[in-house]
Amino acid sequence: MRALDDMRLAFQFLTVLPVGRPEPRPLGEAAWCFPLIGLAVGACVAVAFLAAREVGLSPVLAGFLAVGAGIALTGGLHEDGLADTADGMGVRDPQRALEVMRDPRAGAFGALALALTVPMRALALAAAGPVAAIAAHVLARGAMAGAMAWTPPARSDGLAAEAGPTDAAVALLVAAGIGIALGWQSVPAAALAAFAAAWWAARRFGGHTGDTLGAVQQSTEIAVLLALAAA
C-alpha cells in the first residue's frame, strides 16, 4: 500500500491525471518512483507519435504533436520551471533572482527558452523515434530525484524545502536500467545534462527550487533526445 501511495503522490505532482487524494506527506519520500511516472508519460508521448504517423503525418509534425501531448499530460509543469529559471538568469543577485522566479508572468528569457527548446525537442523526437521519448522521460524524472538529493533547497520555504530528504538511489538505478535497455547512449547524455543543470542551479541560486528541477528535467530530456537522434 505504501508503494501505491507513493505512486499516487508522484502522479499527482508530476501529471494532471486524476489519481485521488494521496495521504499528505513530503514529496521526497515518493522520489523513488519518479522514473516510473516518466515511463507512463513517455509511453503516452510515444503512442501519440505513432498515432500521428499512422494517419499519414510527417515525422516532424508527429514530433510536435507528441511533445504537445506530453505537455498536456504534465500541465506544462517542467516547461514552466524552465521558463522561470531562465528568467532568473537575467538577475545578478541570487535572492532577487529567486523572487523573479516566483513571478507567474513569463519574461523575455523564459519566452526565449521555450521558443528554442520546444521545437528542439519535437525535431529531435522526429529524428530519434518514439522509443527515444520513453527513454527521455524516464531519465529526466530520475534526474529530478538526483538533483533533489544532491543539492540543498535554495529557499527555506516552497516546494523544494517541503519535499524533505530524498534518497535518489532507487530512482537513479531504475532510470539507468530502463535507459540502457532503450539505448545506452541515453544514459551518459542524461548524466552529463542532469549534473550540469543541477550544479549550475546550486551555484547560481544556492540550491534547487521547484523551478530549477523543471529546468533539470527539460535539460535532461533534450540531451537524451539529441543523443538518440545522433545515434
Q: Would you say residue 93 lies in a domain?
A: yes
Q: Would you say residue 43 lies in a domain?
A: yes
Mean pLDDT throughout 57-68? Answer: 98
More confident residue, 156 or 209: 209
Q: Supply the pLDDT for residue 162.
A: 83
Tell whether the model's pLDDT for residue 69 goes beyond 80.
Answer: yes
Q: Supply the pLDDT for residue 156.
A: 78
Q: Supply the pLDDT for residue 157.
A: 79
Domain that holds residue 126: 30-230
Q: Would you say residue 106 lies in a domain?
A: yes
Q: Residue 215: which pLDDT band, with cuts at 50, 70 and 90?
A: very high
Q: Would you say residue 12 lies in a domain?
A: no
In angstroms, the CA 171 to CA 149 distance is 11
Q: Would you say residue 25 lies in a domain?
A: no
Q: Would you say residue 194 lies in a domain?
A: yes
pLDDT in tens, 16-37: 998 777 677 888 999 999 999 9
Per the structure, the count of domains in the chain is 1
Q: Supply the pLDDT for residue 161.
A: 75
Task: Indicate the average pLDDT of the chain.
Answer: 92
Q: Would you say residue 24 lies in a domain?
A: no
pTM: 0.94
Grid coordinates given for 224: 537524451
